[in-house]
Amino acid sequence: MIKTACAMLAVATALVSAPMTAGAAGNDKAGAKSAGDFGPPQGAPIQAVLTSPPNVPPPVNRKYPAKVIVNLEVIEKEMPISEGVTYTFWTFGGTVPGSFIRVRQGDTVEFHLKNHPANKMPHNIDLHGVTGPGGGAASSFTAPGHESQFSFKALNEGIYVYHCATAPVGMHIGNGMYGLILVEPPEGLPAVDHEYYVMQGDFYTTGKYREKGLQPFDMEKAIDEKPTYVLFNGAEGALTGDKALKAKTNEKIRLFVGNGGPNLVSSFHVIGAIFDKVRFEGGTNFQKNVQTTLIPAGGAAVVEYTTKVPGSFVMVDHSIFRAFNKGALAIIKVDGAENKAIYSGKEVDAVYLGDRAGPNLAAVTKATANAASGTLTLQDQVLAGKALFEGTCSVCHQSNGAGLPGVFPPLAKSDYLNADHQRAIKVVLQGLNGKVTVNGNEFNSVMPPMNQLNDDEVANILTYVLNSWDNKGGQIKSDDVKAIRAKTTVKASGEH
């Protein structure tokens, strides 16, 4: 009885400061249970269910506060960051972002942090859902091969970022050490059809964007806040192709979207969708009918919307170069019957998805691996080139290479192309403008330089084009492109 009274008092105290925030946004139940201690843990201790992204643990579905045990292991490991590119990530639970943790407001969390014996670095954890100095960081400093333990009470409901806070902090976060913990309100969250876990992060490699091989962390780029990659869930293609998030029409989707940073603020947007409800900054209040929501570094939001029509819905950071040139692009694939009254148009794929429109870029990965081992074949190049052509060239020259009369010259059976392969490389790297005659037809337009492509990519694309659509065949090697690039003043993007 005495304990209950204490708990009530704590709730009452917490409520005293609540009305200001609650009233401001005018939301129905905002602030009602924003903070509170619901008394000591009851029942037997519960082992927390942790999930890897994009999965979210099932709702807590419990009527009382409990002691919840979280076992999380830090693992340093090399994983793909892009096609043919790997990076040594430091992870909470083996993934970027780290394992998703889900508890109930009032729970007492007993946290066990393990640091795998094969790791090289010490690590710790700072959970933004902790009330206490350092958010747990000071109590959780753990050397490789060791384990540390601390407890905290989840006083406030909300969605919170956790991250490593071991010096150099920026480097630990920059290597992927962040994740989300959801503290459910006592009554739980309203039921939806799908819950997904997505987290943005910026990455800094010494090599330029998509430069192949194992890429080390670049401290200087990190300090300058000039990321090589901006990614959802730690890798380019983590949520595209076969790995796209899935839903059916007329379903409710809830996205827990975090931003690990270390540097950038996200302008989170889903192309072709309007968010019915956003719990901005992960707080208790929500905003309705939102197009783009800001997610600060070290912050999160809960985004909800209902799918109405089928198609590929592209999730981006609307700081748009990050989406199309640094990887911040993911897909929600919605299946179901069309609803022409809501949307009459055609699928968005080629326009927005670029080289992500295909099922995946496996052919590019294979070509890269074979190039590294010296077994690259013409066929490898053709297949890789086909995947890349879809994203970079087909918008203008069309998927079948036919071009558009009077606007974009054909690459199919093109006398201009077949006459001079070196010139074709130059066209891709430097662009082309002014009068050109292709197959007897004159064009006088502008092709922008495509020098964001690396040497392999240009070689593969042109090899594909030369071996398609009645062209005369031939093979362009990566070194051919390198030589021409060296002679031109145009450098690849990312080179300084």
Using omega within 30 degrees of 0 as the cis cutoff, is the peptide bond preceding 97 cis? Answer: yes
Termini Cα distance of the chain: 69
Q: Is the distance from CB of 184 to CB of 157 less than 8 angstroms?
A: yes
| Nearest-approach distance from CB 465 to ligand HEC, in angstroms | 6
62 is an interface residue for Cu ion by CB under 5 A: no
The answer to whether residue 164 forms part of the interface with Cu ion (CB under 5 A) is: yes
Binding test (CB under 6 A) with ligand HEC, winner from 86, 319, 370, 445: 445
Q: Does 177 bind Cu ion (CB under 5 A)?
A: yes
If the CB atoms of residues 232 and 416 are measured against ligand HEC, the closer one turns out to be 416
Instruction: Pick one of Cu ion, ligand HEC, none as the site partner of residue 209 (Cβ within 5 to 8 A by kind).
Output: none
Least distance in angstroms from the C-beta of 276 to ligand HEC = 36
- Residue pointed to by tokens 């933004």: 128
Q: Check residue 398 for interaction with ligand HEC (CB under 6 A).
A: no
Q: What number of chain residues touch ligand HEC (CB under 6 A)? A: 30
Answer with the entry of ligand HEC, Cu ion, none that 328 interacts with (C-beta below 5 to 8 A by kind).
Answer: none
- DSSP track, 62-120: -SS--EEEEEEEEEEEEEEEETTEEEEEEEESSSSS--BEEEETTPEEEEEEEE-TT--
Q: Site for ligand HEC (CB under 6 A): which residue of 55, 131, 399, 433? A: 433
Q: Omega into 168 within 30° of 0, i.e. cis?
A: yes
User: What is the nearest approach in angstroms of ligand HEC to the Cβ of residue 447?
Assistant: 3
Among the listed residues 438, 469, 482, 493, the single contact to ligand HEC using CB under 6 A: 438
CB of 175 to Cu ion, least distance (A): 7
Residue type at 318? H
Q: Strand 46-47 relative to strand 67-82: parallel, antiparallel, unpaired?
A: parallel
166 binds Cu ion (CB under 5 A): yes
Binding segment toward ligand HEC, per CB under 6 A, in 155-163, 180-188, 356-364, 447-455? 447-455
Q: Which of residues 456-475 bind ligand HEC (CB under 6 A)?
A: 461-462, 465
**Residue closer to ligand HEC, measured from CB, 270 or 424:** 424
How buried is 45 (Cβ within 10 angstroms: 0-12 exposed, 13-18 middle, 19+ buried)?
Answer: exposed
Q: How far apart are CA 178 and CA 405, in angstroms?
A: 51
With binding defined as CB under 6 A, does residue 352 bind ligand HEC?
no
DSSP helix, strand, coil percent of the chain (3-state; round to 5): 25, 30, 45
Chain centroid to Cα 413, Å, comes to 39
Decide which of Cu ion, ligand HEC, none touches 411; Cβ closer than 5 to 8 Å per partner kind: ligand HEC
CA distance 303 to 317: 14
Q: Contact between 447 and ligand HEC (CB under 6 A)?
A: yes
User: Cα–Cα distance between 163 and 180 in angstroms, integer?
Assistant: 9
Residues that bind ligand HEC (CB under 6 A): 392-393, 395-397, 408-411, 414, 416-417, 424, 427-428, 432-434, 436, 438, 443-448, 450, 461-462, 465
Residues that bind Cu ion (CB under 5 A): 123, 164, 166, 172, 177
